[in-house]
Structure 1
Amino acid sequence: MSAGALDRRIAIRRAALTNTGLGTVTTWSEIATLWASRKDASDGEKAVAGTVQSTVVSRFVVRSSVMSRGIRPTDRLTEGGLTYEITGIKEVGRRDRLEITAEARLDHEDNNQDQGL
């Protein structure tokens, strides 16, 4: 894979549980920033509780390294202002790349508010 194909900067975030005495709080912190390529696999919309939600499934390809091989399905990925839930990780080629399949959800109502609509 050429360096030019890795045209996206992604951040991998991992959850940490903290007991506050009143309950458990989940905080997400960045554990890695990697160069990746992105290809959208599918998108869709559905009505949920009176709102319309859009989803996009994307495949990100990164170079295989100690850092990228430490990514877990329970981690999250952020890119282009979206937060993705990781749904799969697999080796590509001769163990030199990893493909991360992830899904992002975007609520149309929130999107319209962000754009001042």
Structure 2
Amino acid sequence: MAKDLMVSFRDEVLRKGFESTLPCNLNDKWLGLLAAQLEAYFERDVEEALSLPFAAVLHILCSKSGGEAITVSQDKLFDHLCDYRIELGLEEIRRKTDLGNEPASLQTIFTNRAVTFRGAED
């Protein structure tokens, strides 16, 4: 089952280019699944749940390096997984509410960017 899921993720997301793994470019299925897997890892310590989030984060890091090989420490990779979890949550908020926060781009993701929300009255 997990292998089939990774193959589907590769075919439906990863092969569409570097921007495909940005939360704003994920369809609802992948957004929800990645968020659920990170939730399983961070809240219940389910290590098997990290394969898709790792793939997504490494895909983004590869883009940020211009397609070159990347070297990242375990601590920094963990920080990026935490950041990605936050970005997935922000994207879910953006889709479900009138709080129009600016989605992360390849330039801004993993940069400790400031996030502002615009209300429905703005």
Question: Whose helix proportion is higher, 1 or 2?
Answer: 2
What is the TM-score normalised by the length of structure 2? 0.24
What is the TM-score normalised by the length of structure 1? 0.25
Question: Whose strand proportion is higher, 1 or 2?
Answer: 1
